[in-house]
Amino acid sequence: MTIRIEYIYWLVGIWLAICAWHNLRARRLPMAAFWTVVACAFVFGDAIRAATAAGSRWPAQAMGAGVIALGLLAMGSSMKHSAAGKHTASASEPMGNRLFAPALAIPLATLAIVLVAPHLKPFGQPLIDPGQPTLVALGVACVIALVAALRTTRAPPGAALVEGSRLLDSLGSVALLPMVLATLGSVFAATGVGDIIAHVIGMVISVDNRLACLAAFALGMVLFTMIMGNAFAAFPVMMAGVGLPLLVMKHGALPAALGSLGMLTGYCGTLLTPMAANFNIVPAVLLELPDQYAVIRAQVPTALVLLAVNVILMAALVFR
Amino acid sequence: MNYWPLIGVAVVIAGFALKRNAVLVVVAAVVASAFAAGMDVGDLLALLGNSFVSNRALLLFTLTLPVIGLLERFGLRERAKRWIEGFKGLSLARLLIAYLGARQLLAMFGLIDLGGHAQTVRPLLAPMSEAAAARDVAFAKQPATVATAHESGAARELAADERTRVRALAAATDNVGRFFGEDVFLAFGAVLLIQGFYERNGIHLEPLAIALWALPTAIAAFVIHSIRIVIAQRGLRARAVDRAAPAAVTTVEAE
């Protein structure tokens, strides 16, 4: 038997459905509806993809309508964040540093599973899906850590679900932002937004000056990454528009150095944009910061200095 | 060329600038871009549904929330603060720079999801940073009595704006460490994406040749962000001294 990534997704779906149920019982109907729709994407995700592959479009269209409903539900003012639970002050004393063990079990068990997974082959089949080992390992590690946490605290399993769904509710629709933004990236790619931007850049720069081309490539990577929230989306567009035809073909840039440094230039843009919500907005909410752009503010000086260094590195290293 | 799909970009920028609900803004941008590109409703919904489902991995972090929530309920964050207070010489800068280096090195070996905002920053790194910063501030204010501050364990609580800065810096440190470590890892998506792009265009490259070019930037990122952490710590200390001075004067006047 192989633990496939789909099983982990189903687990997420069940977990989100439990959160929806908690909200339903508390009569927070918009929140309950919100998590129910998201849970559907996890529970029926495979079925939707299989149906699309088989040529049946209505399941994907229904999911698409669900995503639009999520936007409308998120807008509703009744999606109030409930305050995160405060711990009981003296509770940690008898437990002491043993509390760290389950928290550290998430990263350490992930690591251990990733390392031993290639050797685990009961009945001749890999135990962990070799396609997505880290994500599967993270999911399994969360289950292991949950069992460890319940044993350490001797709390009933229901308590973990209540505390977890309280945390999820305090994140609210922000938790979903990374997923919707990635969806936007796919839609931008499908509607040709990237090609248009590469086309515009090609029109404004003088293509005979290699430093002008390099600057356009670097700034394009940063700007496009900021718009898409993802350097991976910006890379193929900027490479196809500027990097490959102008820098590599015309000016003889080293492909390996240009690709690597170009991608890292895009990463400087990732540090600057609210579109990279999972890195920049979700932590601001998770850490209960009053300003949702506080993490970006903390990153701006590092990102700008590093961007300048990176462009200088490119100018020095990519041309033979 | 049809430039109208760019309207989606405009919707996103306007929506974020006006601080509308982000999920709504993004859904509106999707609809605007798709219609501007001439898609019909059926294609739009199918594209939206398929893309949404394909990006499910980004919500996997919510599986950590029951564990983290339960442990926090039993005082994990307070425990993390207490633990850091036990290390006498550990300043905010040393803690964050050590984390930055460790995060980069682990990411270079592909251990990217070892850290993260839900897994390590909220439950562990942020409270530890607060504890270290609180002691820095106490030391800056009253260097003479720092010994007693150490003995009593807790220094003092940070002011609200200081706490925000320290937490945001901890989150930023996690991001910088992750981003500028992972690209050196051979099997990481970015390296494979670069290799795949060139391969499709007839240029054959070894992944190692690509990954090694990420090293100079990784080193630069470590140096630059470490300097910024040190500057942030100095700023905290300097402001603590500024605040302590008028407070001392008023005490004297009151007497």
* B219 and chain A in contact, CB less than 8 A: no
Residues 123-142 of B with CB under 8 A from A: 123-124, 126
Q: Which of A177, A236, A248 sits opposite B22 (nearest CB)?
A: A177
What's the pLDDT at B248?
54
Q: CA-nearest residue of chain B to A274?
A: B16
Q: Residue A195, exposed/middle/buried by CB under 10 A (0-12, 13-18, 19+)?
A: middle
Cβ contact B23–A176 (<8 Å): yes
| Predicted local confidence at residue B151, as pLDDT | 44
- Across residues A270-291, what is the average pLDDT? 91
**Alpha-carbon gap, residue A231 to A260, rounded angstroms:** 12
Dihedral sign for Cα B168, A273, B119, B92, please: negative
Is A54 part of a structural domain of the chain? no
Distance (Å, rounded) from C-alpha A298 to C-alpha B163?
13
Convert the pLDDT of each residue in B175-224 to its tens digit: 999 999 887 766 566 787 888 888 878 888 887 788 889 999 999 999 99
Closest partner CB to B224 (pick from A5, A270, A302):
A302
Model confidence pLDDT, tens digit, residues A56-108: 999 999 999 999 999 999 887 545 454 444 555 445 556 777 888 888 888 78
Give the closest of A60, A142, A271 to B175, CB-based.
A271
Instruction: Report the domain count for chain A.
Output: 1
ipTM of predicted complex: 0.82
Rounded to two decimals, what is the model's pTM? 0.80
Whole-number pLDDT of residue B246: 63
The pLDDT tens digits of the residues spanning A184-231 come to: 877 887 888 777 877 787 788 777 888 999 999 999 999 989 987 888
Using the beta-carbon criterion (under 8 Å), do A294 and B168 form an inter-chain contact?
yes
Provide the shortest C-alpha distance from residue A121 to chain B (in Å).
22
Nearest to A109 by CA among A135, A67, A141: A141
Residues of A in contact with B39 (CB under 8 A): 191
Q: Is there a contact between A153 and B27 if contact means CB atoms under 8 Å apart?
A: no
- Contact by Cβ (8 Å): B63, A139: yes
- For residues B218 and B96, give the distance between their C-alpha atoms in angstroms, rounded to a whole number: 16
Residue B146 pLDDT greater than 80, yes or no: no
User: Is A291 domain-assigned?
Assistant: yes
Q: What is the mean pLDDT of residues B128-135?
A: 90
- Cα(B24)–Cα(B174) distance, rounded to whole angstroms? 28
Condensed to tens digits (0 to 9), the pLDDT of residues B3-51 reads 888 898 889 888 877 878 888 988 999 999 999 988 999 999 999 999 8
**CB A147: neighbour CB atoms within 10 A?**
14
Q: What is the mean pLDDT of chain B?
A: 83
Residue with tokens 């540093």: A97
Chain A to chain B Cβ contacts (< 8 Å): 424
* pLDDT tens string A39-50: 999 999 999 999
Sequence-separated contacts (24+) of B152-157 with Cβ below 8 Å: B153/B82, B153/B85, B153/B86, B154/B81, B154/B85, B155/B85
- Residue bearing the bigger pLDDT, A180 or A303: A303
Q: Which amino acid is at B138?
A: A
Q: Which residue in the block uniquely carries the two structure tokens 């997974």?
A: A117
Range of the domain at A292: 192-317
Residue type, A186: S
Task: Give the distance from residue B102's alpha carbon to the nearest chain A alpha carbon, in angstroms.
Answer: 13
Does residue A267 surpass a pLDDT of 50?
Answer: yes
Residues 25-54 of B with CB under 8 A from A: 26-31, 33-34, 36-37, 39, 42, 44-54
In a domain, A146, yes or no: no
Angle at alpha carbon of residue B237, lines to B232 and B238, rounded to 5°: 95
**What DSSP letter does each residue of B176-223 carry, written as one string?**
HHHHHHHTTSTTSHHHHHHHHHHHHTT----HHHHHHTTHHHHHHHHH
Note whether B64 and B72 are within 8 A (CB).
no
Comparing CB atoms, the residue among A15, A286, A291 nearest residue B122 is A286
Q: Is B172 on the interface with A (CB under 8 A)?
A: yes
What are the sequence ranges of the domains in chain B?
4-54, 61-254
Q: Quote the minimal CA–CA distance from A112 to chain B in Å.
A: 10
* Of B39, B79, B124, Cβ closest to residue A97: B79
Contacts with B42 from chain A: Cβ below 8 Å: 57, 61
Most confident of A126-135, A233-242, B118-127: B118-127
Conformational region of residue A276, where left means phi above 0, alpha means psi within -120 to 50, and beta covers everything else: beta
Please, what is the Cα angle at B185 between B180 and B186, to 5 degrees? 145
